Copies of this chain bind each other. A is one copy, B any other.
Amino acid sequence: MFVLDPRLVQDTVAIGDFPLCRLLLSNDSNYPWFILVPRRPDIIELFQLEPADQLQLWQETNALAQLLSQSFNADKLNVGALGNVVSQLHMHVIVRFRNDVAWPAPVWGKSPAKPYTGEELSAIYTRMREVLTSGFRFEGDQT
């Protein structure tokens, strides 16, 4: 059974589900930072997914990246699966700006997380739900 890693539960807000992945928002307002987690148990590496799931993950990753790029008018998207700390497979999709606090470095470990206020969180949550449900097979928060 798929269970979200406790560290991801702690550090993120669930926005909803794509056909394969749960979409999480990292609670760090330094960057629009999203995380896709395939809802499959016991997967650590990309290549451990079934071939159809591998394809689905890449499609959801690329589609999300493209949508975020447009919606936020991003300077760059950073996409990556690292997993050195949280081993459960998760794909970062991060909107970067040339004036963000870490640019041009990667975001990890660069600057302390700056949690969203309740108002900010509500705004980005609503915005993402509107954007995603208009163009995707996307369902609301399942958690």
Contacts and interface: CB of A to CB of B under 8 A. Distances in A.
Contact of A84 (B44, B54, B63, B76): B76
A82 interface: yes
Nearest to A46: B62
Contact of A82 (B54, B80, B87): B80
Contacts of A47: 62-63, 65-66, 69
Contacts of A20: none
Given A47-B69, A55-B55, A106 B109 contact: yes
Interface of A: 44-47, 54-55, 58, 61-63, 65-66, 69, 76-85, 87, 92, 96, 103-106, 108-109
